[in-house]
Each structure stands twice: as C-alpha cells, then as structure tokens.
Amino acid sequence: MTVDVRPSPVSVTVRGRVAVVTVDHPPVNALSGPARQGLLDVLSALAADAAIAAVVIAGGPGRFIAGADIREMNAPPAPPLLPDVVAALDGLDKPIVAAIDGPALGGGLEIALACDCRLASPGASLGLTEARLGLVPGAGGTQRLPRLTGIAAAIPLICGGRILKADEALEAGIVDAVLDGDLLAAAVARAPAVAKRRLSAQPVPAGDEAAEAAAVATAFKQAKGLPAVEEAIALVRAAGSVPFSEGLARERGAFLKVRESAEAKALRHLFFAEREAGKVPGLEGAEARPIGRITVIGAGTMGAGIAIALADAGFPVALIERDAAAAVTGAERVRGLYDRQVKAGRLTVGDAAARLARVAASDDWSAVATSDLVIEAAFEDLGVKRDIFRRLDAVARPGTVLATNTSYLDIDTIAAATARPQDVIGLHFFSPAHIMKLLEVVRGARTAPDVVATVLRFAKKIGKRPVVAGNCDGFIGNRIYAVYRRHAEYLVEDGASPEEVDAALEAYGFAMGIFAVSDLSGLDIAFAMRQRRAATRDPAERYVSIPDMLCEAGRLGRKTGAGWYAYDAAGKKAVDPVTTGIIARARAAKGIVPRRFTAEEIEQRLVAVMANEGAKVLAEGIALRASDIDLAFVDGYGFPRLRGGPMWAADQTGLARVLREVEAAHAAGGAGSEPSPLLVDLARRGETFAQWRRP
C-alpha cells in the first residue's frame, strides 16, 4: 500500500508494519517550507496509525537531507519551523530509523539526531554546518550532538562546521552502523527491533575538563570574530548543565539572534554569490569540450602550482620548459611542493607519489599535439607570451583550448598571435595556485562560448571557484587591487605609516595588511608593472615614488630581507628605520606635512576606493555582477569573508556615505580616482550594488 501526500515532496510507502518516509525535493532535499510541512503532516498521520510499528526516514538513493533552504534565511521565519518537525519526530511513540545515503547536513543531521537509530552508507556525510553561514544549529543540534559525542568532541564539530565521512561519524558515535549494499532494505529490516532511544532523555556523558577547555580555546582562536562561535560554545556547554527543554529555548534564541547578524548576512551573500557566478549569459546551448590531457608551459612558481592543482584532480600533466635543465628544476619544484604537504601531514607519502607520477616535466613540445587544454604560465611579458602562442598555434591540434595565465596583459593581443583566437582564453590562477580557490576566467573579444563553458566545468573539476571577467588591464581583481594599493600609498605619503595602514586592515579582518602582502609577493612585480605603464600614465594622476625608491635600494620584500619592513632570518617582520627615512624624504621632496589617520579613516578610504573602481568595472561590463567582484576579493585577495566583499561592504555602509569618501579620495589622488557615474547614480537613488542589474 502507498499513501502519497503529494504535491508535497514527502511520500510514505508501507512495507509490512514499517512506514518508509521519503523526502524527494531535488536537487539536494533542502528543508524548505513544503518539505517541513510534508514531514509534519506525515508524522501526524503515522502517530495515529496503529498498523504502523516503526518508521524509516530516507532521502532516496544517494541522498538524505542536505539541510535548510538558505533562500528562506533572508525572510521572516515561516511555519512550520524545523524545530516543530524535530519535536514531532522526538514525540513519535514508535522507533524511527534514519537511513542516511548521502549528505545529512545542518537541519538534515538534526532530523537524524531526533531519530532513535542512524544507519549510514559508506558514501554518507554528516555535519552541523551552520557555522559556515554564521549561524548556530536551530533545531536541537547543540543539545543532542553532545549527548552522543560528549562536549569536548561536539565543540569543534559544531564551531568548525566540520563534515564527517561515514566511518568518522561511526567512530564519533553519531551513527550506529555503516552498511554496504541496500541501505533502505537494511533499515526496514532493523526498524521493528529498534528500541526508543530519545537523545532528549539522555544525559551528556561525563567528559575531560582539560579536553573541553582545549576545545573551547581552539574554537575561539579559529572563530576570527564570528559571533555564532561564541554562542555555539555556550550552548554546547549548557547541554551538560541545564534541562533539555531549557537548552532548546536558549538555542532557538541564539539562532534567531545570530541569523540577523551582519556576519551571517555577509556569509549568506557569499553563499548565493558562489552559485550566481556560474550563470554566464551567452552560453546557452554551448557544449563543453572534453578535457583529458593537459600541458602547462612554464615550470616556475606559478606553473608548478598549476601542475599540482591539475594532478591533484587526477589529470595527467605535461610540464614544459625551455630546455632540459629548466625542466629538471621545474620537476624538483613540483616534488618540493609535494614534500612540504607530506611533511605538514596533509598528504601521505603514497598519495604524494601517485600525484607526482601524473606530472611529466620535459622540454619536449610534442605533448602539446595530444593535449585538450594548454595553459601558458610563462613570465609576464607580452612578447614572450605571443611567441609561445605562435608556437602553440603551429603544434596544437584543432579544438585545443589555449589558455594564458596572465595577470594583466591583453588577452586579445595574445590571441591575435594565433589563427584561432576563438580558442584562446585567460585562466588567471592565484598564487599559490594549488591552494588558492579563485580562478579568473577572462573572455577575449572572440573567445568562443563553448571554450568558456569548457573552462567553467574544468574549474569546478579542479576545485576552483571561477569568476568570469572581461578583457582589460588587470581584469577584475588586479585592476581594483591596483587602485587599492595606490590609495594605501597615498595614505602613507600623507602621513600614515605602513604599519598603521596594515594594522587597520588587519583589525578590519584581513589576514595581512597590504604592505606586508607586497613584501611577501615581492615589490619588483608591481615595480615592473609601473614601468610598463609609465608611458601611458595620466600626468594628472598622483604618483607615489616611495615603492620605486625601495626597489631601487634593493629592498624587494621578504626575499631580500627588507622591503616596507625589515625581516630577520626566521621571516619575522619589524618596522625598519631605513623605510621610515625613505618615506620622510619622499614627503619632504613634495612639501607634504604629514597628518595622522585613524584606523577607521584608513578602513573607510580603502574600502571606498575598491568599491568605486568595482563600480567602474561593472559599468564597463568587465564584471557581470557586483557579487562576482566580492567573490574575487574574498577568494583571491584576502578580503574578510565576514565583511562579504568590497561591494557588499559598501552597500552596508550606504552608498551616499561611500560616495563622500570617494570624493575625498579623488581630491587626494587626482586623475583615475574620479567617482564612478554608476556609484553617483546609485547613491542619488538610494539603491545598492546588489540591486543593480545590467540594462
């Protein structure tokens, strides 16, 4: 017999005296309103059905329940609430088995925790992931999980939003068994014999106070200003000292509080931004080309990192250098990067060896002829890159995607060196390429839609977050970053010290300030860029010579032991009187009387100029949407996630206020710092970047 409650996404199939409740809400069985109502209706019916002896909750093959519908988080809570559904599960006077064959995350795991038995397939994954969105579990997760794992183990799981594999969940005591084969059939067979075992009625097991204190300390250290973590710690600890009902009430209050926090809203913005970034107009009907073998041209720092990213994803990689000696050096560079991961415990020796075996370094270009994708990662010089693309054009077979890893250079000029500009695209990896998530996908004027579709699919396969950009100097990220750096230098020339600027940025949430980052990457990179642009620089643009003076003095950053800061043998930075003297001389040469800046003034100025240049990037069509700019800066430039990105941060400040700051920045910087007409228009109308849509 089948009882179907559709159009609800929840259905019931009766097998003997066991009711199988299936949530079928593609693609991930999110707990949206219809799913919650369906579960509540079914549980009410089953409670009154004397013919049903036990219940199995399932999500279909390869699925369970992946968690809340995040789209509902930006609206007032709508009944029935998830705690209502969990309470109905807890109150059902019949044994309930959760058959977890896929992700049981967030609210999905809270559903499972309200069951009396949890069975998992080997491919299942479980976790209370709310902290990733700046939230705490809101349907009993902070109170039930500690009753299974103990407080010391529950704190890192909840505060870190960690996702456990099935065997890890078994070891932690979260699931009762991991079963191969037909999980649903096994759950139905076991259900009648399962005893009622409500976690709400069980005590929290006694724990080790030292282990609990250590877990709390680690969670606070890793919280990085996220209010939800402090709330979660308090809730988990309370599970061991207050009645269950009081713990639930505290949890619900904390959930509603942090749900409205600025940090949670910023993280939700980024959650949706990640999903929007893949929606690229003009790709309708474009079919991605198959990618099997890949060649990387250039085995320097960037090329080696790219090769590792590809090998880690399972691709065979030909790593090509200019001669045999350079190829040997490149192979050693790749080996060294893998050795570091083994030493750090991130890879086993066997895994590193298997991945290393996928990379073949040589000076033999014949591999290009059998490659589906070629990624040029040579020195950032237009002539060098055009020479390489001429050679690729002669060797690569038709249909091969030809990508350049340029950070600034004109994609169309590079593509013009070939007879197939439709196959040329920019793939701007960020260093270290095997670690950084961002991949800027740069379309040329003649790049074919199927080439864009190909690299978007490829990016996901290698674990990158692609953001599509148009072709201009610096694309999205480096174009805006150049303005950010330039205005940081204006602040220094006008009176702030490099350490004051960096301290303000770090207080704002950046892991490192801009001058410390410059020292890390090397001051000579930006110096070369400035020299390249010197002939075309607007004479009305203010120019700060301090970084040039540092480079001319041989102070190129960490690699030379001195740049904006001085560095000891261990790489620890310190304020350097030599830099202070160079800055003082530069100010004196221009007759600048230094003034003081507060940390707030520094933060406001630098975020405002980033948003202003971002507005120009939007208006020119270089970025598809404001949220793409936010993703680029969070994933590629260290902009704090809890601030949501420069465009989101500007929206939260209010664009009228941002415009006033940009006008002050224009007065300080001259040409190139003018307020964007788009910013002016949005500020005048009281609108935001998030609301703006391309006409």
The domain that contains 372 carries what CATH number?
A: 3.40.50.720
- Cα separation, 425 vs 523, in Å, equals 28
> Which of the following is catalytic: 72, 130, 376, 552?
130
| Same domain as 500, residue 601 | yes
73 and 179 share a domain? yes
Residue-wise pLDDT tens digits, 528-578? 878 888 888 899 999 999 999 999 999 999 999 999 999 999 999 999 999
- Last residue within a domain, chosen from 212, 244, 260: 260
- The answer to whether the peptide bond before residue 7 is cis (omega within 30 degrees of 0) is yes
Average pLDDT of span 617-632: 98
Phi, psi for residue 456 in degrees, rounded to 5 = -65, -45
Same domain, 222 and 364: no
Q: Is the dihedral of CA 610, 637, 466, 411 positive or negative?
A: positive
pLDDT for 452: 98
For residue 3, pLDDT over 70 is answered with no
Q: Would you give the end-to-end CA distance of the chain in angstroms?
A: 55
Tokens of 170: 């078994």
Find out whether 298 and 371 touch, Cβ atoms under 8 Å: no
Do 97 and 35 belong together in one domain? Answer: yes
| Nearest Cα residue to 391 out of 369, 423, 360 | 369
CB 603 within 8 A of CB 652: no
- Supply the CATH number for residue 607's domain: 1.10.1040.50
If asked whether residues 420 and 522 sit together in one domain, one would say no
| Integer-rounded Cα radius of gyration of the chain | 28
260 an active-site residue? Answer: no
Same domain, 190 and 169: yes
Give domain status of residue 277, yes or no: no
Q: Are residues 494 and 379 both part of a single domain? A: no
* Residue 20 and residue 166 in one domain: yes
Q: With H, G, I as helix, E, B as strand and everything else as coil, classify residue 126.
A: strand
| Domain span holding position 97 | 2-260
Report the C-alpha gap between 613 and 658 in whole angstroms. 12
Q: What is the rounded distance in angstroms from the CA atom of residue 564 to the CA atom of residue 558?
A: 9
Domain-ending residue, one of 242, 260, 278: 260
Strands (E) located in 331-380:
359-362, 373-376
Given the residues 72, 110, 251, 500, the one annotated as active site: 110
Q: 155 in helix, strand or coil?
A: helix
Q: Is 209 a catalytic residue?
A: no
In whole angstroms, give the CA distance from residue 574 to residue 571: 10
| pLDDT average, residue stretch 591-597 | 97
State the pairing for strand pair 117-120/177-178: parallel
Residue 283 in domain: no
Query: What confidence score (pLDDT) does residue 533 get?
Result: 80
How many Å apart are CA 430 and CA 587, to the nearest integer? 34
Query: Please, is 111 exposed, middle or buried when counting C-beta atoms within 10 Å of its C-beta (0-12, 13-18, 19+)?
Result: buried
Residue 289 lies in a domain: no
Query: Per-residue pLDDT for 1 more than 50?
Result: no
Number of folded domains in the chain? 3
Residue 557 DSSP SS3:
strand
**Does one domain contain both 410 and 483?**
no
Q: Residue 303 is inside which H or E element, if any?
A: helix 301-312
Indicate whether 157 belongs to any domain: yes
Check which CATH number belongs to the domain holding 205 and give it. 3.90.226.10
What tokens does 245 get? 């009902």
| Tally of CB atoms within 10 A around 494 | 17
Q: How far apart are CA 530 and CA 656, in angstroms?
A: 32
124, 100 in Cβ contact below 8 A? yes
Statement to judge: residues 440 and 533 lie in one domain:
no
Looking at the domain assignment, is residue 266 inside a domain?
A: no
Does 253 share its domain with 310? no
Residue 142 maps to a domain: yes
> Collapsing DSSP states into helix, strand and coil, what is residue 429?
strand
30 occurs within a structural domain: yes
Between CA 592 and CA 636 the distance in angstroms is: 34
Give pLDDT, residue 8: 82
Model confidence at 103: pLDDT above 70: yes
- Encode pLDDT of 139-150 as tens digits: 999 999 999 999
Same domain, 218 and 198: yes
Give the integer Cα–Cα distance in Å for 674 and 542: 12
pTM: 0.93
Give the model confidence (pLDDT) of 168-193 as tens digits.
999 999 999 999 999 999 999 999 99
Q: Which of 8-12, 83-87, 422-426, 453-457 has the lowest mean pLDDT?
A: 8-12
- Taking 80 as the threshold, does the pLDDT of residue 132 lie above it? yes
Cα–chain center distance at 514: 20
Give the C-alpha separation, 443 to 622, whole Å: 9
